Amino acid sequence: MVRRKVFNEKPPHVEYSLTKLGEEFKSILNELYNFGEYYKEHMPEEGTT
């Protein structure tokens, strides 16, 4: 899901990027985020149930 590219440099240099699978997974993470935001807005406050 995450690609790691190491450059042979001093100081050490590393870059990270998403693979195709990682890019596709972003939509799932966005939906989980949307669910969490909805849940926060609609869940009863503690002690009121």
Dump pLDDT digits (tens) for 6-48: 999 999 999 999 999 999 999 999 999 999 999 998 887 776 5
Total domains in the fold of the chain: 1
Q: For residue 28, tell me if it sits in a domain.
A: yes
Residue with tokens 């993470």: 29
- DSSP-assigned beta bridge partners for residue 33: none
The pair of structure tokens assigned to 10 is 């001093």
Q: For residue 8, tell me if it sits in a domain.
A: yes
User: What pLDDT is recorded for position 2?
Assistant: 96
Radius of gyration (C-alpha) of the chain in whole angstroms: 19
Q: Which domain holds residue 38?
A: 2-42
User: What pLDDT is recorded for position 46?
Assistant: 73
